[in-house]
Amino acid sequence: MAVGVVVGLTVGPRSPLLHKDALVYKERGKARVFEHPRAGAKRLAPHEGRTELVMHVSARVRGSDGKDYFKVRYTLEPEGTTGPPKFGAKKQPVVKSRTLEGYVAVDLAPPVVSPVGHWVLSVLNPLGRLFMRLIKMVIVPLVFASLLLGVASLGSLTRLGRMGGITFGYFLMTTAVAITIGLFCANTIEPGKYLDDKARDQLSRAYSDQAQEKVKSKEAVRSGLLNRVVDMVPDVPLHSVAGPRPNMLQIIVFAILLGVGFLMIPVDRARPALQFFESINDVMVRVVQLVMELAPFGVLALLAGVAGTAGAGVLAALAVYSLVVLWALLLHVTITYGLAVRLLARYPLRRFWGSIRQAQLIAFSTSSSSATLPVSIRVARENLGVSNRTASFVLPMGATVNMDGTALYQGVAAVFIAQIFGMDLTIGQQLEVLFTATLASVGAAGVPGAGIITLAMVLTSIGVPMSGIALILGVDRVLDMFRTAVNVTGDLSATVLVARVTGELDLDAPPKDPAD
Ligand code: ASP
């Protein structure tokens, strides 16, 4: 883990050790390159459909409008002109690679980075993405089979109601406690006071484009509570798994309903289908074990990517805010989960923390509760001594609806942004934060960055400008790692509690590989 961070910081794009003279544009059409160093000069269209463009900065000049400009040079390789011509297609003109020069306003440019560091990350990136994909590949079949079996194996609707009640009760209670801790820390430490005006302006300029996008993708979140409940039920279940991102809430609802259906038909009729899902489940668990062989490399690549792109500069400007989030998360993990695991579940704390390390590490490096799910299920069954059916019931649901870390961070972020805008949140508004952040954490998908999208909903509910999101975006990727690790810890604490209450905890079974 540390190796990834060190690699990212020392030989990544923002490394203080490497020479920095490159501007990297990721999104189409984002680069505004002028023919001359002045506003209103003729604009060049540098992207021409490319998704990434690297420009080399050769000088910094003062433009005739008094603003600073980078003189840049970049090469456009021909794209889309390879491959055999299609029958009947017009003959494509041969496009040669062209090197162009122009000027980019310094205040609109992305940070200047090292081309070597950029190359290092572009080599490591595919490895991290490969690891993520291998884990994600098993999520849908695993969640579906394990949740369905978890419900069906409860044997009766009464037991289902009991286990569901305890699980949801615990989820809601810990989420409310988490937000309260976040609000308390943000109100007492007041991180907003530590951000000076200059840093504020810089941050909001640098991240305003990205913030706009987050706010746009939030439109779906604002669709109203009732509509959201309706949306949880799939009309065609196959649609829930198709598309770029599976709809986990719909998959969960479908799996629970099927499980309930199995409980309502005679056992001999249910048996054959259940056996089928049992084999799918077992196979998926094995596949996860295989994928985990790659974990050290995958984790290194993912962490190098985050450390390399965030860099130390933004972290410094938002240090107090980040520290408040981390401090509050630490309090929640040690006090809330510590008490719940020790006193409510009567589970040995040392064994609990020792057993869940691998799940926390995967959550931290992937920033995705859903991607961590296969590992959490394995950890709960093999290391914590939780029964299959409890783990299969609590964890898939927890990965999607229980996000204490996310809810806590939204509490801190809402107060922080309000403080920067000079707004004092009343008790009523803070209760509103408690309510909406609880809902937002239920609605957020267990994927990287989901929390910042639903934060827009929290801010709207208390009338804080959503543009404030731009201020915290720079550190969000790093904080996401911590809050995801907390989310997963919360789910695992729920499994031991539910297993204890329902008599499904086997503490005598030695952990298989606690430090795995
Ligand atoms: N990445 C988080 C998770 O998967 C959600 C979030 O807070 O963005 O649990």
Give the start-to-end residue ranges of the domains of the chain: 21-75+99-112, 119-501
Q: Which residues line ligand 1 (CB under 6 A)?
A: 367-369, 403, 406, 444, 446-451, 480, 483-484, 487
Residue 124 · residue 132 · CB < 8 Å: no
pLDDT confidence of residue 340: 95
Mutation test residue for ligand 1: of 406, 441, 457, the one with most atoms within 8 Å of CB: 406
Rounded distance between C-alpha atoms, residue 396 and residue 139, angstroms: 9
Instruction: State which of 376, 483, 489 you would mutate to test the pocket of ligand 1, scoring each by most atoms of that ligand within 8 A of its C-beta.
Output: 483
Which atom of ligand 1 lies closest to the CA of 450? 8
- pLDDT, residue 207, reads 64
Alpha-carbon separation of residue 185 from 21, 249, 330, 413 (angstroms): 40, 31, 11, 11
Superfamily per CATH, domain 119-501 = Sodium:dicarboxylate symporter (1.10.3860.10)
| 56 CA → ligand 1 middle, Å | 35
Letter for the amino acid at 73?
Answer: R
The reported pLDDT for the residue numbered 219 is: 47
Residue 490 CA to ligand 1 center (angstroms) comes to: 13
Q: Give the pLDDT confidence of 100-154 residue by residue, as tens digits.
A: 888 988 877 877 888 888 888 888 888 888 877 887 787 788 778 877 887 887 7
Distance from the CA of 441 to the center of ligand 1, in angstroms?
9
Q: Report the distance separating Cα 166 and Cα 493, nearest Å.
A: 13
Identify the pLDDT of residue 331: 97
| pLDDT over 60 at 203, yes or no | yes
Mean pLDDT of 334-362: 94
- Please give the DSSP secondary-structure letter assigned to residue 219: G
Q: Looking at residue 175, what is its pLDDT?
A: 94
Ligand 1 centroid from CA 463, angstroms? 24
Residue-wise pLDDT for 261-280, tens only, equals 998 999 899 889 999 998 98
b/e map 239-273, b = 16+ CB within 10 Å: ebbeeeebbbbbbbbbbbebbeebbeeeeeeeeee
pTM: 0.73
User: Cβ neighbours of residue 164 under 8 Å, at least 6 residues apart?
Assistant: none
* Helix H or strand E encompassing 62: strand 53-62
> Are the CB atoms for 128 and 298 separated by under 8 Å?
yes
Confidence category of residue 370, pLDDT binned at 50, 70, 90: confident
Q: Which residues of 451-483 are buried (b: 16+ CB within 10 A; e: fewer)?
A: bbbbbbbbbbbbebebbbbbbbbbbbbbbbbbb
Second-level CATH architecture of 21-75+99-112 = Roll (2.30)
pLDDT of residue 516 exceeding 50 = no
Neighbours of 50 (CB within 10 A): 15
Per-residue pLDDT of 8-60, as tens digits, reads: 777 777 777 888 888 888 765 567 888 888 878 888 766 666 667 888 888 88
Quote the ligand 1 centre to 22 CA distance (angstroms).
Answer: 31
Residue whose Cα lies nearest atom 6 of ligand 1: it is 451
pLDDT digits (tens, 9 = 90+) for 290-327: 887 787 788 788 777 777 766 555 566 678 899 999 99
Collapse the DSSP code of 126 into the 3-class scheme (helix H, G, I; strand E, B; otherwise coil) and give the result. helix
